[in-house]
Structure 1
Amino acid sequence: MDKVVIVTGAGRGIGAAVARRVAREGYAVAVNYQRDAAAAESVVAGIRAAGGKALAVQADVAVPEQVRRLFATVERELGLPTALVNNAGITGRLGKFPEADPVMVEAVFRTNVLGLMDCTRAAIAAFRRGGQGGVVVNVSSTAAASGSPHEYVWYASSKAAVDGFTMGLGKELATEGIRVCGVAPGFALTDIHAAAGEPDRAQRVTSRIPMQRPAQPEEIAEAVAWMLSPAASYVTATTLRCGGGV
């Protein structure tokens, strides 16, 4: 069976780096995006130029109907998915919890938790139909352990839910040849900080990082690629911290 991976939120940042990295391992890559078609098509073009196979697929993972369409499109165009990287995620605006907009908080959980679960449910169904097992890698955050007080407690809470989901589901599916793993980045140089309202946040928090620098997206992608690979065949139900010591 051909190796086919869906990377959600892969138009830029960590998702784009993951898509490019796993394409080098022979995966046909579904580059999922929500809004920026040009960015996703640029990632696809780069993969194809390097001799890989890729397809951009629009879908908002927070909408169950769009998740179903995403998986149906990938199966039709690339084949049954054999791996899923749940990378899509939002933070909402930085601030203290009592002043946070409840609608924003709900949106964070719909994308980061419920959307991730919907994608995983669809992936499991595909893996079972393929009969060869599969791998899910959930992109979490070191914020799950710190709680991110005064910044975005709700985002940290959503990622803590992801970690619990990774652990429990990995154990639940362990006898089926389906691995469920996680990678928890620390501060990385992506535009997620600009979306949260502080473009220079990664630089501001550098002093908190033992390695004294934020990560490049490609460094996180290496950890994800390892989790997907046969080298991690005995790893499941666990999340790897990739935060420069955080």
Structure 2
Amino acid sequence: MLVTGASRGIGAAIARRAARAGYAVVVNYSEDSAGAERVLQDIHDDGGTALAARADISVPAAVGSLFDAAARLGEVTAVVNNAGITGNLIGNLVDMPAENVSRVMDVNVGGTIFMCQEAVRRMGTQAGGRGGAIINISSTATKAGSPGTWAHYAASKGAVDVLTTGLAAEVAQHGIRVNAVAPGSTNTGLHAAAGMPDRVARLNPTIPMGRGAEPEEVAAAVLWLLSDEAAYITGAILPVSGGR
């Protein structure tokens, strides 16, 4: 399994859980090498197999090199497109700098597309692959649009939802299932990095279940969609949001 943005948060939880499920895991990261090494060590301590690979997924050539690195562990049969950014700026869309908006779109939309393209080229039965599954990490921010905070981020995740639907139909005959998991408010460092360390707690009263998700709960949904129990599911967008 190849997991992008796996050095922390939801990606790290997915990588650890995947290793416990028996996958050899590629822990992708862009900048946080120390975090990736911690995840790698956790997996090795549990007796799992993994390697860390640095790549900026918004660069197509880097995506190809990432899959080449993954081949050291064997044939890739699962790809989790978790890497995503908010740009770490908060405010109304009209005030967002153009370079911030462009970078969010480059990573969240372009990077996910490039990863999906390479996954299909390598895994699809039309290309001699064994088939497999792709999970895109979306967000329930697509429902309300994150006004006043991250409307551009919500828009990028809306694109991920549409990509999931379209690609699932394109590659169903090639032995590849494509689904998305859409976390709601989740206890990760994402909010603190943007200067809102208490954001999850502030949103708790708006969540029917009264709390934010833990990364491990999102990871559990991802691994279920990758499992044989979900063999007839493709094109789905599964919310993990406590009912919000």
- Measured after TM superposition, the shift of residue 69 of structure 1 is 1.2
Aligned mate of 2:135, from 113, 137, 156: 137
Aligned mate of 1:50, from 46, 49, 53: 46
Q: Does 1:158 align with 2:156?
A: yes
- The separation in 1 between residues aligned to 2:209 and 2:103, in whole angstroms, is 33
Using the TM superposition, name which of 61-70 and 79-88 deviates more.
Answer: 61-70
1:112 is aligned with what amino acid? N
- The separation in 1 between residues aligned to 2:120 and 2:182, in whole angstroms, is 22
Task: Give the TM-score taking structure 2 as reference length.
Answer: 0.96
Aligned to 2:81: 86
2:142 is aligned with what amino acid? A
- The separation in 1 between residues aligned to 2:204 and 2:57, in whole angstroms, is 31
Across the aligned residues of Structure 1 and Structure 2, the Cα RMSD in angstroms comes to 1.0
Report the secondary structure of 1:180's partner residue.
Answer: strand
The answer on whether the counterparts of 1:64 and 1:118 sit within 8 Å (CA) in structure 2 is: yes
Report the secondary structure of 1:173's partner residue.
Answer: helix
User: Where do 4+ consecutive residues of structure 1 move more than 3 Å?
Assistant: none
- The separation in 2 between residues aligned to 1:168 and 1:196, in whole angstroms, is 32
Aligned mate of 2:23, from 24, 27, 52: 27
Aligned to 2:66: 70
- Measured after TM superposition, the shift of residue 40 of structure 1 is 0.4
Percent identity reads 50
Using the TM superposition, name which of 180-189 and 44-53 deviates more.
Answer: 44-53
- Measured after TM superposition, the shift of residue 17 of structure 1 is 0.2
- The separation in 2 between residues aligned to 1:142 and 1:226, in whole angstroms, is 19
Aligned mate of 1:183, from 181, 184, 188: 181
Q: Does 1:223 align with 2:218?
A: no
Task: Give the TM-score taking structure 1 as reference length.
Answer: 0.96
- Measured after TM superposition, the shift of residue 195 of structure 1 is 2.2
- The separation in 1 between residues aligned to 2:212 and 2:166, in whole angstroms, is 30
Number of aligned positions between the proteins:
241
Contiguous gaps of at least 5 residues in structure 1: none
- The separation in 1 between residues aligned to 2:143 and 2:171, in whole angstroms, is 25
